[in-house]
Amino acid sequence: MADFTREALYELVWTDPVRTVAARFGMSDVAFRKHCVRAAVPLPERGYWAKVAAGRKVPKIALPPRAPCASNVIQIGSEPYNWRYDPEAELAKPVPSPPQFQEPIEAVKARVAARVRKVPFIRELAEPLEDIRKLLDEDAKRAERQRTDRWAMSWDKPCSTPASRSDA
């Protein structure tokens, strides 16, 4: 198992083809790509290495900022599970130094606020939001299945009752 920061993984995939890097870790390129996608590390597009070999200058895709609550450490491979966890030994370890952040918290807050849209306040469900409308429609289908199916299952019960909904 190997631990990488996002920046180190980014440099790794942009210095050698993914297939070559994955072989170093004894895994398939598809498995290695999944680690990169989960960590939001951009990969070279198809044909990138052929263009580089031909001497063409191909731009690298920039590493995007880390998503809020996402880890900066990526573990590649699996660590064998240790059944002998010793809390005393864990507590005896020295206290780690405080983390150093590359981006000020105000910039992170602004980035998150830009991604979150304002949700309108709706008092009644005569015209619900699209996502709520989909849930209500699915619930209506469940209720119909419960009413008409001879072998209706308990997991197919509607999540809300018509009495609790304003559109019924």
pLDDT tens-place string over residues 3-51: 888 999 999 999 999 999 999 888 899 999 999 998 999 999 999 999 9
What pLDDT score does 165 carry? 46
The DSSP code for 74 is E
Residue 63 CB burial class (10 angstroms; 0-12, 13-18, ≥19): middle
pLDDT average, residue stretch 98-121: 83
What does the pLDDT read at residue 41? 93
Asked whether 74 and 9 are in contact (CB, 8 A), the reply is yes
Residue labelled with tokens 């990526």: 74
What CA–CA distance (Å, rounded) separates 124 from 161? 16
Q: What is the pTM of this model?
A: 0.57
Across the chain, mean pLDDT equals 83
